[in-house]
Amino acid sequence: MRFTAVFAALPPAALADISPANPVKRLARVAGYAGLRLLGNIFSPINNRDELQGKVWLYVVSANNYDALAFIKEARPDAVLVAGQAKHIGRYNAAVNRLSLRRKLLFYWQFPAAMAGLLRTEGRRAWRFFDFIFYAIGYYEVYRRALRHYQPQAVVFSNDHNDDTRSLLLACRAEGVPTAYVQHASVSANFPPLGFDLSLLEGQDALDKYRLCGPVHGRVELVGMPKADAYLARRNTAPAVRRVGIACNVHDPLPALTATIALLAKELPKLTFTLRPHPSDGRDFEPLRQLVPGLQWSSAREENVFDFLLRQDALVAADTSTHLEATLLNVASVYYRFGTNPLTDDYYGYAARGLVARADTPAELVACLRRYAVSKPADLYRRAVYYNATLGTPDEGRSQPRTLALLHEWLQAPR
């Protein structure tokens, strides 16, 4: 994914936070990683709260992953939440067990050859993202050693494209450890091919997109959205829109975001607007606070996305799976691009498939919200059937039990 045209064309502000354009700054970032993470891991103690030997590992790389897999931990005494040493899991940092990465430093002799090989295959993009290549070195070897040491029953993933996640998946294949995948967010055709022994996807949309990514490996079941179970019975029944949530991330240019919110507040003064930046969005929003003092705020680090959506009647956002979550709750969702990158236009295909309304200009956005302020349909959630396999079936709202039953059956099967 790091070498795709889509990634290379991300807005400079979005890339700067994860890979600076200036090669000197990239080198400084790599040096900091080597000092704080590689050397720091050597001297950092690992005191796990759970025994990892022979357990079912739930491997997480973010707070969203944790939220997607925590119900398995609660239901299975043999399941343990696991992350790489020093991996930031947000508010759950202290709640996950850690896999030692102390030996990762021993494998950096491979970096020159890896860099040279990727320069031949990927050209200038390998140089542009040499920091990502550096970070990825050693995960595979260290994780193979951990698997041999702990011999887990299986590893369950909720992310399939990060460097450490891919490394663990490949290590599991090499060591013969069974792997399962529980989808935690919408996917795109730019993801790696589906390569797990068991994949529990939310709906037909995910399976169709993975088929575009390459050959589908292993068994696939469509289970709906487990994390939404507790919220589907609390769908929005407001006949008209009064509260509008706006979700943003670093891919949304701040000047355009600020101008849009200011316009909405001016043109639609009877509506209440709430901005919810992505938890990784560390930009300075103080000028926006001063420009639109009536704007309300939601902290993604403190408030679950569904709890946020329950307080809204409509959502405005660009490329985010929050559109799907909003539609499931019968919140009127509008796709509006704050940026201009043509390669990410309707990245998840929500607008093209009619899941959400689309507004291409500020005037269209104002007009759309004005219509919803008069009347909001009561059956918007039915549009999500293609994305959520249990919607409208006896299993609606029971995706967690369905997922647990399939996992149990798979784990008990002879190998």
pLDDT in tens, 129-142: 999 999 999 999 99
Q: What is the pLDDT of residue 163?
A: 94
Which range, of 133-142, 280-289, 397-406, averages the lowest pLDDT?
280-289
Return the CATH number of 231-386, one of 3.40.50.2000, 3.40.630.10, 3.40.1390.30, 3.50.50.60: 3.40.50.2000
What are the pLDDT digits (tens) for 372-388?
A: 999 999 999 999 999 99
* pTM over 0.75, yes/no: yes
Q: Write down the domain spans for the chain.
A: 5-33+44-177, 231-386
Residue 353 CB contacts under 8 Å (≥ 6 apart), including other chains = 205, 386
Residue 216 CB contacts under 8 Å (≥ 6 apart), including other chains = 193, 194, 199, 207, 210
What are the pLDDT digits (tens) for 223-250?
A: 999 999 999 999 999 999 999 999 999 8
Structure confidence at residue 97 as a pLDDT band (50, 70, 90): very high
In this structure, what token pair is assigned to residue 57? 């590992």
**Helix or strand or coil: residue 219?**
strand
**Per-chain mean pLDDT for the chain:** 94
Mean pLDDT within 364-370: 98
